[in-house]
Homo-oligomer: A and B are copies of this chain.
């Protein structure tokens, strides 16, 4: 595992997004523990405080709960909360800028499909 980081956003926000993706993808289910602060820090060769900061964001968003001595756990209802919140956030704050960009660059649906994450038929 080496998943690199983008310099377009602070690491702690990228870590947060990664957990959120895992929840939405069902990799992490409600009640599951997050990978421990120290483990993640070691895995990505990052400072434990940076990981902690990303996890505390998730706590602030009511998505996970922290139990001292035990770990951080995904709250009940976290996925639903996300499907509401993140959808709105994406549609209102990110997508308008992105779609404007796509038009500007004259990108076609075909090109976009080919460049999408998982190419359906290789």
Contacts from A to B (Cβ < 8 Å):
6, 8-9, 13, 21, 24-25, 83, 86-87, 90-107, 111-112, 115-118
Given A21-B104, A24-B104, verify A112-B95 contact (CB < 8 Å): yes
Which residues on B sit within 8 Å (CB–CB) of A98? Answer: 94, 98
Which residue of chain B has the shortest Cβ distance to A23 in the bound complex?
B104
Are A87 and B116 touching (Cβ within 8 A)?
no
Are A105 and B24 touching (Cβ within 8 A)?
yes
Which residues on B sit within 8 Å (CB–CB) of A115? Answer: 91-92, 95-96, 99
Which residues on B sit within 8 Å (CB–CB) of A105? Answer: 24, 83, 86-87, 90
Kindly state the separation between the CA atoms of A110 and B90 in the bound complex, as whole angstroms. Answer: 15
Which residue of chain B has the shortest Cβ distance to A10 in the bound complex?
B8
Which residue of chain B has the shortest Cβ distance to A95 in the bound complex?
B115
Which residues on B sit within 8 Å (CB–CB) of A97? Answer: 117
Are A99 and B83 touching (Cβ within 8 A)?
no
Given A9-B8, A91-B115, verify A83-B100 contact (CB < 8 Å): no
